[in-house]
A and B are shown apart, each in its own frame.
Chain A
């Protein structure tokens, strides 16, 4: 797809970072307020799709040199393997746990194993959505 739209590009350059920040916020806040792995991943994917739509693919590819299939595979791998972690502690497959820690800068923080699982989910979502869109758009 050829697009040549200066205003769009200028805005996109700025907006993408805002979107990505929002994505990170949504991802991390998922435990206690709306958000989570799916949404975080989707918003990242949406930001990337926005980039691909407004710039040509080669440019963006150069800037973000990931193979998104591998990103997706890595995500699935993380999600599945975290499930086995609980087996080591004699718990059923995929049991999650959480604990509170006193960390410098953050104060009392809740750390959860769900976060790792959700990170996997997010990676899969990003990888798959971008792979799907790119596959179609590139195949000319």
Chain B
């Protein structure tokens, strides 16, 4: 029944089992278990392809918090299926790769637990229909990414990278949450499907644009769009399997998923088109521009990922135009941009995954991934070389690789922008030019990747290990991905018809099915797109050959001081410094001061409200009579309480506290609460024994040696607190606004079979409270036990800061 819900839960369950398997089963690498889980999920999801392709969707509802409209609804359609297949499929390949990549001395159980956690969270993101549930999974992916980046937590750079990615993605996520809440306020539903059907009535709502921008903020931070891209290069501190999986193939595409998913909600708005397209184009250019100057292969790939994500983002932005003006026939052509986007998204996952794994192999076998130290590996590592040729030529957009097809389609869609007359023609014409320039730069860095690493002079003296081919286990996954790169080129329409077309229904539910398909072919005449590609190759080759003559420009254009990274670093430092100053000014480290803050806040806030609302004006009626005996006890208790402040010996103070306790239990008798009276009496006895036992060890208390001033402050504060407290209590007693619910409990005999109402409440009506109370009590007991028994071991040094 809840099969898709289960698909989300299974990785989490598996994550729980991983540490156990790791501990118990020594012979088999724990990664194989993870591989089994992800492959099973992958195959299971593959079985949905035929039905999804025929236009079906699956909806499963599991009521979670129905009273708040928050249900665990999973929605499996074409769009989510593509992402789910990528998550589980690439996940399986990465797992195999990681088995050979990570040495067995690493903390594998942590690694695979986090990996499964991520897999589950990511599946949750793409399957959730309820925006609140989606948000929770969304943040969970950020958290698991944080844990994975910081996997080598003893390295400072890993911790910094993890922190940066967490700060940026989580704050974007918060923005997204606010946007979601605004959407909920507007439409009154938390289901994305229902929003799509009702949103058309809210385009003029004042919250519409803010909600859109905030949701885009979440998507852009997650997908590393300019200017939030800075977290992705530092996230490369993660182990390479993680970079291949999270930071190129899946997690960073969550933002794209979100934008695609919300296209039917916001698409057609000009703001949406401009923001998504322009940010995408800038990111495309900026990423490829920066990739060229990198000397670390992984950083190069990180910037190239940023750039490719920007490219996909801009295509989705362009496609949203199709929903403008109630979709006339001549606008349908723009849906092709979305088709190209999804197509490229899949292609990118294949070739970029392969390239990351290649870098991992180079790093693993040679001990470095700095291009200045590499070169001439082609003959020594022939298979790795072949894969990297496939991957980077595909990325550069050359045939016969899948990147060529999607790059051509990208050009088609970017050229179609010229026909939109949203603003002056010069501006609209600039977009294709920038995109084309970025493609040239892309070509350049792809060539850098291949030629600087594998050709040129082999410099063994600069490497940590002499070069040799990697074991088959590490080569397996990149080979599979490389095969896909080629296969997709030759059979693009299999993918197009069975996987991408259904996803198009999800992005454009308002359009008819017949408009959405697209036939992909490698050759479509000697048109402008092909000329652009040829131009890219010519100019790119030219730039690459003369690279060292113009590379110096970078330092001139982009000094390190002015980068966003420096801005981030400086502002983080500034925030830390300022908050330290502020915190130190009032965090004195004295309990008394903190309590004074709390009490003064109470006095001002509550007392002020009391004065403001005139709630202190009430007449004191006598509800029930007071007997002399009750007067006597009250007075005795007041005297006991006040003398607690004055007595010299702590023994007397403890006994006075018991006097108060027994006094309270007498009151319980008077107020007809026999259970309470019994309990209070026994507890008071035990408490006194406890105090006396501790008293046996604690020193005699000294006279309070506080300054006179602080004593006076304490006195004033306490009296004020007492007075306000009493006033509120009296005011509340005077103005009972509604009937007590207690009369319900008087049916105890019929409902619970008990005549003792108090006990029926504890054991039956509100048994949940009692159960939790029992657990709290147990925790307290264990806490006491550990406080006493657990002595700190000397010589335990923290692991931090190597």
Contact = CB atoms under 8 A, between A and B. Distances in A.
Interface in B757-785: 759-760, 762-764, 767-768, 770-771, 774-775, 777-778, 780-782, 784-785
A26 B674 CA distance: 12
B784 A35 contact: no
Nearest to B771: A79
A42 B788 contact: no
B778 A33 contact: no
B146 to A, nearest CB: 33
B756 interface: yes
B778 A132 contact: no
Given A114-B754, A135-B788, A135-B789, A83 B778 contact: no
A30 B759 contact: yes
A109 B686 CA distance: 34
Contacts of B778: 72-73, 75-76, 124, 127-128
A24 interface: no
A110 B759 CA distance: 15
Contacts of A30: 756, 759, 763
Most A CB within 10 A of own CB, among B753, B774, B777, B778: B774
Contacts of B764: 96, 114
A30 to B, nearest CB: 5
Nearest to A139: B788
A46 B781 contact: no
A43 to B, nearest CB: 6
Contact of A36 (B693, B753, B763, B788): B763
A125 B675 contact: no
B763 A117 contact: yes
**Is the contact region of chain B dominated by helix, strand, or loop, or is it mixed?**
helix
Contact of A135 (B768, B775, B784): B784
Interface string B604-618: 000000000000000
Contact of A136 (B675, B682, B686, B693): B693
Of the four ranges (under 10, 10 to 19, 20 to 34, 35 or more), the interface on chain B belongs to 35 or more
B755 interface: yes
A94 B768 contact: yes
**Is the contact region of chain A dominated by helix, strand, or loop, or is it mixed?**
helix
B180 to A, nearest CB: 30
B65 interface: no
Of the four ranges (under 10, 10 to 19, 20 to 34, 35 or more), the interface on chain A belongs to 35 or more
B678 A133 contact: no
A39 B679 contact: yes
B785 A118 contact: no
B683 interface: yes
A128 B777 contact: yes
B771 A34 contact: no
Given A69-B781, A76-B774, A135-B789, A53 B689 contact: yes
Given A35-B675, A96-B767, A49 B689 contact: yes
A112 B754 CA distance: 9
B788 A136 contact: yes
B754 A32 contact: yes
Nearest to A33: B756
A35 B697 CA distance: 35
A135 B785 contact: yes
Given A39-B679, A114-B763, A93 B768 contact: yes
Contacts of B671: none
Contacts of A33: 755-756
B696 interface: yes
A80 B778 CA distance: 12
Interface in B674-726: 674-675, 678-679, 682-683, 685-686, 689-690, 693-694, 696-697
A128 B689 contact: no
Interface string A76-105: 100110010000000001101010000000
A125 B678 CA distance: 15
Contacts of B659: none
B694 to A, nearest CB: 6
Contact of B777 (A94, A112, A125, A135): A125
Contacts of B753: 31, 98, 110, 112
Contacts of B777: 72, 124-125, 128
Contacts of A1: 693, 696
Contacts of A80: 771, 775
B679 A38 contact: yes
Contacts of B771: 79-80, 83, 94, 117
Contacts of B784: 131-132, 135-136
A30 B679 CA distance: 12
Given A83-B767, A98-B754, A128-B780, 12 more contacts: A1-B696, A26-B678, A31-B759, A36-B762, A39-B678, A46-B685, A110-B753, A114-B752, A132-B780, A132-B781, A135-B787, A138-B788
Interface of B: 674-675, 678-679, 682-683, 685-686, 689-690, 693-694, 696-697, 752-756, 759-760, 762-764, 767-768, 770-771, 774-775, 777-778, 780-782, 784-785, 787-789
Smallest CB-CB A-B distances: 5 pairs: A128-B781, A98-B753, A34-B674, A114-B763, A42-B682
Interface of A: 1, 26, 30-39, 42-43, 45-46, 49, 53, 69, 72-73, 75-76, 79-80, 83, 93-94, 96, 98, 110, 112, 114, 117-118, 120-121, 124-125, 127-129, 131-133, 135-139
